Amino acid sequence: MSISGLFSFKMNMSHEHISSYQDTCSKLLLPALFLFISILIAFKWASPSKTSRHHNLPPSPFALPVIGNLHQLGSLHHRGLASLAQRYGSLMLLHFGSARTLVVSSASAAQEIMKTHDAIFSNRPNLGVFQKLMYNRNDIASAPYGESWRQTKSIVVQQLLSSKKVLTYRTVREEEVSKLIRKIGQTCGNPFDLSEYLASLPINITCRVAFGKKYDVEEGELKFDYLLEEFSSLMGSYDVGDFIPWLGWLNNFTGRNSRIKRVSGQFDRFIERVINDHLTDRDRRTSSQDHTDIVDALLDSSENDYGGASLSREQMKGAILDVFTGGTDTMAATLEWAMAELLRHPEVMKKVQKEIRSVLGHPNEHHVTEDEVALAELNYLRAVIKETHRMHPAGPLLLPRESTQAVNIQGYDIPSQTRVVVNAWAIGRDPCSWDNPHEFNPERFLKGDSISAREFNGQCFDLIPFGAGRRRCPGISYANAIVEFALARLLCEFDWSLPAGARAEDIDMSERLGLAVAKKFPLVLVASLPAAV
């Protein structure tokens, strides 16, 4: 048809035809616009960016428009990332929405990030969950790298977490572990939820040594088990606004923002109470020369210059929140995983109990002290703890870092402001570093070879449950003292078995996602007193 013919055809159309034609166009307009925008976005994502054209970037799986690789994380992020690393390598570049993220899954790559180029990767990304839960990043864990972070960390380490300070709290640990032992003793012969019992131990110890007294775990709103579980869940899950900023409003509809507001509000009221209690009792505590705890030290630093600056109220509260949340659930999870693995491997259980009782004595003979455990050559017990950290790091994905400048890692160019996630879980199960990595085998640390010398102190990058470098968790000594003594007492004082009809292979080792990855289902066991020698 000619142009003039087409024009004539349109001029002769009836009004009804024109109206129908307009309705059809209106209905097609929105889908057409959506398709056009989708094609543009897909073209943008599929086309090499300026960065990728001019840099040798690490391998990347195909990223979908808008969401990038978020769909490939799976329900358990550390496992999903480990699966991707098997296909794309131990150093891969993912896009979580618009956030460029380097995922590290080998000891050699982790060493370059956290040792060789540690200064470049010592910053934290500015995530929404850090702002909303951690006093606008005025804590230690999520604070930007700089003088303010160093100042607050120094106070907490000197007053609570240093090896010297940890030794001064042994009486508190002994008392609280003894209370746990007595509580378990009351259940003898009957199934009970060990997970629930273990959860309160680190809370009670931390409250006493950090805050000067034990707060009731069921006091009013302060149901610490609930708060810690919610806190861990929120910190361990992703905020859509951190990856797709223009979809951040969805958090209002998913309930995430209301959960954050509720948890942060309850923690803030608890921390305000702790501070006010110390302010009220301060004169009495000072005059009687009572033990100065971490809150007293923070109050001192807020009133006096400490290294040239004084701490703000927000920094004080952020540090207190870190002390309380930073290790309580992770210590309980480590003890829970250790006991679960020992029940699944009865030959290991018998061997470690034999060592403990032969070195420390039978529980019927005397009361075991922490000094005895610390000084004793309990090599097999410590191998069990190492193996638990290797297979079940309580924080399988270390807190994310962010590069402050461009750098080359293992031949790949890493742009500035790239987020970095180190998969400690994948490194602990890397067949390049460990024989039979999925087998629970404490003997691997007792062979007298290089593997035996591996420690989780941040110097060995094959075993980094606490991280490494400047951003390494400062509470290693504090946490290990509790885990080692508690596990030694549990294994010394009781023989352990499963409820009637249950088998070792029936223990469900499924994981629950959170900042600390614990068992998904409670560990129900039967404790019994060992036969007299």
Angle (nearest 5°) at CA 97 between 96 and 98: 105
> Quick check: 462 and 427 in contact, CB under 8 A?
yes
> Quick check: 302 and 309 in contact, CB under 8 A?
no
Distance CA 415, CA 252 (A): 33
* Burial of 426 (C-beta count, 10 Å sphere; 0-12/13-18/19+): buried
Supply the DSSP symbol for 65: T
SS3 238: coil
Dig out the tokens for 420 from the structure: 């970095």
Dig out the tokens for 289 from the structure: 């020369």
Q: How far is CA 267 from CA 227, 271, 300, 479, in A?
A: 8, 6, 22, 22
Distance CA 31, CA 19 (A): 20
Supply the DSSP symbol for 244: S
SS3 172: helix
Distance CA 71, CA 268 (A): 34
Supply the DSSP symbol for 408: E
Dig out the tokens for 183 from the structure: 């509580």
Dig out the tokens for 456 from the structure: 């989780």
> Quick check: 151 and 351 in contact, CB under 8 A?
no
Q: How far is CA 114 from CA 109, 400, 469, in A?
A: 9, 12, 5
Dig out the tokens for 102 from the structure: 């380097």
Supply the DSSP symbol for 138: -
Angle (nearest 5°) at CA 296 between 290 and 299: 150
Please state whether beta strands 419-422 and 99-104 pair in parallel, antiparallel, or not at all (unpaired): parallel
**Residue labelled with tokens 């003979």:** 365
Q: 473: annotated binding-site residue?
A: yes
Backbone angles phi, psi at 259, to 5 degrees: -65, -45
Please state whether beta strands 495-497 and 407-409 pair in parallel, antiparallel, or not at all (unpaired): unpaired
Residues in binding site: 473
Residues in binding site for heme: 473
